[in-house]
Amino acid sequence: MKNITFEKYQGNGNDFVVIDSRGNDLYKNYKTNKIFDIKQICNRQFGIGADGVIFIEEPKEDNYAKMIIFNSDGSEAQMCGNGIRCLVEYLHLNDSMNNKNIEYKIETKAGLKIAKYINDEITVKMGVPILECQNIPTTIEKKINSIPSHEFIEKDFNNMGYAVGMGNPHLIFFVKDIESIILSRLGPILEKNELFPEKTNVHFCQILNRDNIKVKVWERGAGPTLACGTGACAIHVAAYKLGLCNSQTIVTLPGGNLKIDWSKDDCEVMMTGNAKKVFSGSMLVN
């Protein structure tokens, strides 16, 4: 057994255990010998408690660092919008640079992402979105219709969903009354379906006005979370393509607001939000 240090961060309440694996073999040892169990670490009763674990690795190219992100169920994801802001805040607080004017070039499974401080918030170039399909085949309709109506949600929920890729998959529904959505009922049903062989993140959105979208999030591999950065980007893209919002919106999540800027198909989505250190700690691993 040995003691390793970690730091806990959160972005709009979406929280992560950050493990710096630069200059040591922590990530390699995790991958080869499972020196700890991510589910246990993320467990909010018996572990540290988090929506996921982020390893920081040395970059492959001439970039600042590499981000590897795991959901709380232990599944690896391609990208994490709140997580990359937490990683940048970690780098800013721990690296000697301590310079808020640099561009942080971070390698991820969804490609290179560039982040920069603007005042006390962090803006990330989140990549060019992929509009995967305009509506949901009958498989999902059948699943939704299989729920007894008394357990169901608002009356006018029409299973017209939108799939948008931000390096990771997102299934988006626009509803008239978001408070009527029973996330715990619909999230698990929609997270796993044939349209998404690797499962998907699920979002229910209410357009408050052309500058503001209110959201409830069910994350792949994590369940209900307070915020999803890649999800906020995907939601803005779907709403803009449907003519429901302006080119810049505030996406209001249960854990706080994210500012999203996007209007041209071949452009990167820009996401701006906070990231805060919660505490440092250490844990015994095998």
Ligand X SMILES: N[C@H](CCC[C@H](N)C(=O)O)C(=O)O
Q: Which of 168, 193, 249, 272 binds ligand X (CB under 6 A)?
A: 168
Q: By CB under 6 A, is residue 272 in contact with ligand X?
A: no
CB of 44: closest distance to ligand X in angstroms? Answer: 16
Catalytic residue (one of 80, 86, 205, 245): 80
Q: By CB under 6 A, is residue 187 in contact with ligand X?
A: no
C-beta closer to ligand X: residue 41 or 285: 41
Q: Is 203 exposed, middle or buried (0-12, 13-18, 19+ CB in 10 A)?
A: buried
C-beta closer to ligand X: residue 76 or 154: 76
C-beta closer to ligand X: residue 220 or 285: 220
Known binding-site residue numbers for substrate: 14, 71, 81-82, 168, 201, 219-220, 229-230
* Interacting residues of 4 by C-beta distance below 8 A, sequence separation 6+: 19, 26, 282, 283, 285
Catalytic residue (one of 42, 86, 228, 233): 228
Q: By CB under 6 A, is residue 127 in contact with ligand X?
A: no
By CB under 6 A, the residues from 2 to 31 that bind ligand X are: 14
Q: What are phi and psi of 77, to 5 degrees?
A: -110, 160
By CB under 6 A, the residues from 37 to 96 that bind ligand X are: 71, 77, 80-83
CB of 82: closest distance to ligand X in angstroms? Answer: 4
Known binding-site residue numbers: 14, 71, 81-82, 168, 201, 219-220, 229-230
Contacts with ligand X by CB under 6 A: the residue count is: 17
Residue whose C-alpha is closest to residue 137's, from 159, 170, 169 = 159
Is 86 annotated in the active site?
Answer: no
Is 80 annotated in the active site?
Answer: yes
By CB under 6 A, the residues from 208 to 267 that bind ligand X are: 219-222, 228-231
CB of 96: closest distance to ligand X in angstroms? Answer: 28
C-beta closer to ligand X: residue 168 or 285: 168
Q: How far apart are CA 113 and CA 100, in angstroms?
A: 17
Q: Which residues of this protein are in contact with ligand X, per CB under 6 A?
A: 14, 71, 77, 80-83, 168, 201, 219-222, 228-231
Q: Which residues are catalytic?
A: 80, 228
